[in-house]
């Protein structure tokens, strides 16, 4: 499809944190990255909360703004590293006073407000386990996760408590304490967070922390089925920090904005931990997507590094190029995206409309940090996910026609030629690799083949080592002997001016095995007519030949997960009249 690479100038290369990819990949060790952090005083181990907050609070960055919370209107609340240390100290002391022991599970069900960040970092400093829930979850998804995660403490708002938790509280005998935000008298059965925090000291010493101690419990997005609870340990902070420097080009002078909610792993690894370990200033917007507000945030907050997601970018693209032209985006120096395949179209749009190309990167809840990425100092191939982060070894495993790995004596065969697809796999050993799925050892064991961790995604690698996403193994379509990744078809359809977004599935077919069906949402100004349907079918056929969609349906409300991914399994279940499965993470349609 011929997208030109986006070349980086010699000056851009030299200025990047990762100035020489090839050499760093050769020489870099995780041991070295450990040295970029402080470690607990007197060799007492490694603690995420200490690295994110305390080490800056005792040093020169004490008075630098760590978090800047944007309010509804123009109101802004700033919290310095020093202040964040005191607040998280109080939270850790509060856990002590409630009798919570190291390893106890502390959940949050909060919007992006200060209490969420204090809960997360205070819990980590205390050496309890933090697990964030997305504040828009209904009572059932909340109950599921609190039960499965053995929640002892929950921090939430009075409103969320009444609507989501009170109705199910009787099902949660292990939940000992519910702390609620706000000034009003707390609902029956809960404690006022602020009053409790006021009653404890603002000094606290992080206890010795074994780097292998469990720190975070993160539920996956539920795109392919029931969400799994991934277990992460304190050592993960080494990878959070190093990957933010390499893949997000992040530095302490940056104003950083990660648009992901901490209810998803991106919003924790890069929306709380990594930028603070770097000592940057992070902005937090409590609101949902709003094109004008987002552009205003970038301009007015002088955001320098922005980490967002393909769905958001596609929504911004729908508004066209004139809108961003009205804002001063001159501070912006680096944009990255994760969560779903990023269409080449969007990468190039970024350069044209925002003044910066979008750098795609790939990772999962399980991997804890960015694994494959494009970089500030490297040429960018629109449509490619990039190359492995230094310290990460990636590979592709051969699969047979039925999707089974090809094995020799328990060792999977790898794909060694360029441009041949295989299952994307990683060699465990990086610090933020998950250590298990909570209460599901069999599922965890099934993720490994020989020395490889299987990601469940299919990809290919070009001759220069860039990885290209094909699809999730579960979503891939087999039609008349071809293996079709829905992403390729979706990306192509998006090149048509009428198409805002597409979701592509395989439909059983007696002759071909499966045929491709595309669900399409249209850009403003286009109407869902039969003529347009025929035009799109022809457009697909001319460009894709035999793998083109045989059916096109219009759907202005494609189902998405709350973390912004097209839920193809739901499109398919609905199409085939099959059970819809776990819908706890489905974004309700507007
Ligand atoms: P579940 O595992 O519950 O089905 P999920 O896989 O969507 O949900 P996450 O861990 O949030 O849960 O998402 C990781 C997945 O998202 C990856 O395995 C991949 O399929 C997709 N993904 C993430 N980043 C990219 C990217 N840059 N390009 C393509 N796909 C991506
Ligand atoms: Mg997954």
Maximum CA pair distance of the chain?
Answer: 72
Q: What single string gives the DSSP state of each residue in 305-369?
A: EEEE-HHHHHHHHHT-SHHHHTS--TT--EEEE-SS---HHHHHHIIIIISS-EEEEE--TTT-S
| Ligand number nearest to the C-alpha of 570 | 1
Using DSSP's 3-state secondary structure scheme, residue 469 falls into strand
Give the mean pLDDT of the chain.
95
145, 150, 153, 155: CA torsion to nearest 10 = -10
Confidence of residue 393 (pLDDT cuts 50, 70, 90): very high
| Ligand number nearest to the C-alpha of 220 | 1
pLDDT tens digits along 462-483: 999 999 999 999 888 888 777 7
Q: From 220, 368, 486, give the residue whose CB has the most ligand 1 atoms within 8 Å, as the site to mutate.
A: 220
Instruction: Please give the share of the chain, as a percent, with pLDDT higher than 90.
Output: 87
Q: From 145, 217, 221, give the residue whose CB has the most ligand 1 atoms within 8 Å, as the site to mutate.
A: 221
Using DSSP's 3-state secondary structure scheme, residue 456 falls into strand
Instruction: Please give the share of the chain, as a percent, with pLDDT higher than 70.
Output: 100
- pLDDT at residue 590, rounded to an integer: 54
Please report the atom of ligand 1 found closest to the CA of residue 226: 3
Task: Report the interhelical angle of 81-97 vs 114-126 (nearest 10°).
Answer: 60
Q: How far apart are CA 119 and CA 139, in angstroms?
A: 21
Distance from Cα 472 to the centre of ligand 1, integer Å: 8
3-state SS of 157-215 is CHHHHHHHHHHHHHHCCCCCEEEECCCCCCCCCCEEHHHHHHCCCCCCCCCCECCCCEE
Residues 89 and 216 in one domain: yes
Asked if residues 269 and 364 have their Cβ atoms less than 8 Å apart, the reply is no
The answer to whether the CB of 274 is under 6 A from ligand 1 is: no
- pLDDT at residue 128, rounded to an integer: 98
The answer to whether the CB of 307 is under 6 A from ligand 1 is: no
Residue 403 has pLDDT above 90, yes or no: no
**149 within domain boundaries:** yes
Q: Provide CB contacts within 8 A for 320, sequence distance 6+.
A: none
Residues 161 and 265 in one domain: no
Q: How far apart are CA 390 and CA 22, in angstroms?
A: 9
Confidence of residue 240 (pLDDT cuts 50, 70, 90): very high
H/E segment holding residue 559 = none
Q: Which of 202, 234, 266 is the last residue of a domain?
A: 234
Please report the atom of ligand 1 found closest to the CA of residue 469: 29
Average pLDDT over residues 330-335: 98
Q: How far apart are the first and last CA of the chain?
A: 34
The answer to whether the CB of 563 is under 6 A from ligand 1 is: yes
pLDDT tens digits along 127-184: 999 999 999 888 988 999 999 999 999 999 999 999 999 999 999 999 999 999 999 9
- CATH of residue 406's domain is 2.30.38
Residue 541 has pLDDT above 70, yes or no: yes
Residues 361 and 449 in one domain: no
Residues 199 and 248 in one domain: no
Average pLDDT over residues 558-577: 93
Phi, psi angle pair for 542, to nearest 5°: -65, -35
Distance from Cα 341 to the centre of ligand 1, integer Å: 9
The answer to whether the CB of 539 is under 6 A from ligand 1 is: no
Tell me the residue range of the domain where 220 lies.
Answer: 81-234
pLDDT tens digits along 146-161: 999 999 999 999 999 9
Which has the minimum average pLDDT: 64-68, 385-389, 579-583?
579-583
Give the residue whose CA is nearest to atom 18 of ligand 1. 364
Residues 313 and 331 in one domain: yes
Asked if residues 287 and 315 have their Cβ atoms less than 8 Å apart, the reply is no
Residues 417 and 531 in one domain: no
Q: Which of 166, 200, 234 is the last residue of a domain?
A: 234
The answer to whether the CB of 565 is under 6 A from ligand 1 is: yes
| Ligand number nearest to the C-alpha of 309 | 1
Q: How far apart are CA 18 and CA 421, in angstroms?
A: 28
- CATH of residue 516's domain is 3.30.300.30
pLDDT tens digits along 357-376: 999 999 999 999 999 999 99
Residues 250 and 104 in one domain: no
CA-closest candidate to residue 587, choices 289, 229, 319: 289
The answer to whether the CB of 468 is under 6 A from ligand 1 is: no
Q: Does the predicted model carry a pTM greater than 0.85? A: yes
Distance from Cα 341 to the centre of ligand 2, integer Å: 14
- CATH of residue 21's domain is 3.40.50.12780
Give the residue whose CA is nearest to atom 1 of ligand 1. 222
Distance from Cα 224 to the centre of ligand 2, integer Å: 7
Q: From 338, 360, 362, give the residue whose CB has the most ligand 1 atoms within 8 Å, as the site to mutate.
A: 362
Residue 522 has pLDDT above 90, yes or no: yes
**228 within domain boundaries:** yes
Using CA atoms, how far residue 281 sits from 65, 276, 303, 329, in Å, is: 6, 7, 9, 18
Confidence of residue 72 (pLDDT cuts 50, 70, 90): confident
Task: Report the interhelical angle of 530-544 vs 486-494 (nearest 10°).
Answer: 120
What is the CA 38 to chain-centroid distance, rounded?
A: 26
Phi, psi angle pair for 355, to nearest 5°: 85, 0
């Amino acid at each position: 499809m011929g997208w030109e690479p986006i070349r980086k100038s010699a000056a851009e290369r030299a200025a990047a944190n990762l100035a020489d990819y090839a050499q760093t990949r050769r020489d870099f060790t995780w041991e070295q990255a450990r040295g970029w952090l402080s470690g607990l005083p007197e060799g007492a181990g490694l603690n995420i909360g200490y690295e994110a907050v305390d080490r800056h609070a005792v040093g020169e960055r004490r008075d630098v703004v760590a978090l800047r919370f944007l309010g509804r209107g123009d109101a802004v609340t700033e919290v310095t590293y020093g202040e964040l240390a005191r607040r998280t100290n109080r939270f850790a002391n509060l856990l002590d006073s409630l009798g919570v022991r190291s390893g106890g599970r502390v959940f949050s069900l909060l919007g992006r407000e200060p209490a969420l960040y204090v809960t997360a970092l205070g819990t980590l400093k205390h050496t309890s386990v933090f697990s964030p829930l997305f504040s828009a979850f209904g009572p059932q998804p909340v109950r599921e996760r609190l039960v499965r995660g053995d929640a002892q403490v929950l921090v939430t708002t009075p409103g969320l408590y009444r609507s989501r938790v009170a109705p199910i509280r009787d099902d949660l005998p292990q939940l000992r304490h519910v702390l609620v935000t706000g000034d009003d008298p707390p609902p029956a059965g809960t404690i006022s967070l602020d009053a409790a925090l006021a009653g404890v000291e603002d000094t606290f010493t992080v206890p010795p922390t074994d780097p292998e101690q469990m720190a975070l419990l993160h539920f996956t997005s539920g795109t392919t089925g029931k969400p799994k609870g991934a277990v992460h340990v304190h050592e993960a902070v080494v990878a959070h920090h190093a990957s933010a420097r390499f893949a997000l080009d992040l530095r302490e002078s940056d104003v950083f904005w990660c648009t992901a909610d901490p209810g998803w792993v991106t919003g924790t690894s890069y929306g709380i931990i990594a930028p603070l370990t770097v000592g940057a200033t992070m902005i937090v917007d409590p609101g949902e997507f709003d094109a004008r507000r987002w552009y205003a945030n970038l301009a007015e907050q002088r955001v320098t590094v922005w980490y967002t997601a393909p769905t958001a970018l596609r929504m911004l693209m729908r508004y066209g190029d004139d809108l961003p032209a009205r804002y001063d985006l001159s501070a912006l120096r680096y944009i990255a995206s994760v969560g779903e395949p990023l269409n080449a179209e969007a990468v190039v749009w970024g350069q044209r409309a925002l003044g910066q190309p979008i750098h795609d990167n790939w990772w999962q809840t399980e991997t804890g940090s960015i694994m494959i990425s494009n970089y500030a100092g490297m040429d960018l191939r629109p449509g490619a996910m990039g190359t492995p982060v230094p310290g990460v070894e990636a590979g592709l495993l051969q699969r047979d026609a039925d999707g089974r790995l090809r094995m020799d004596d328990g060792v999977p065969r790898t794909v060694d030629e360029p441009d041949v697809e295989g299952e994307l796999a990683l060699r465990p050993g990086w610090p933020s690799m998950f250590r298990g799925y909570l209460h599901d050892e069999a599922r965890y064991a099934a993720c490994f083949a020989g020395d490889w961790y299987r990601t469940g995604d299919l990809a290919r690698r070009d001759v220069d080592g860039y990885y290209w996403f094909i699809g999730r193994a579960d979503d891939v379509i087999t039609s008349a002997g071809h293996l079709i990744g829905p992403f390729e078809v979706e990306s192509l359809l998006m090149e048509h001016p009428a198409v805002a977004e597409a979701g592509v599935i395989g439909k059983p077919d007696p002759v071909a095995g499966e045929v491709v069906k595309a669900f399409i949402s249209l850009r403003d100004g286009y109407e869902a007519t039969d003529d347009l349907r025929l035009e799109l079918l022809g457009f697909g056929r001319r460009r894709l030949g035999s793998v083109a969609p045989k059916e096109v349906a219009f759907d202005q409300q494609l189902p998405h997960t709350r973390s912004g991914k097209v839920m193809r399994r739901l499109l398919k279940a609905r199409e085939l009249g099959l059970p819809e499965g776990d819908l706890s993470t489905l974004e309700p349609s507007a």
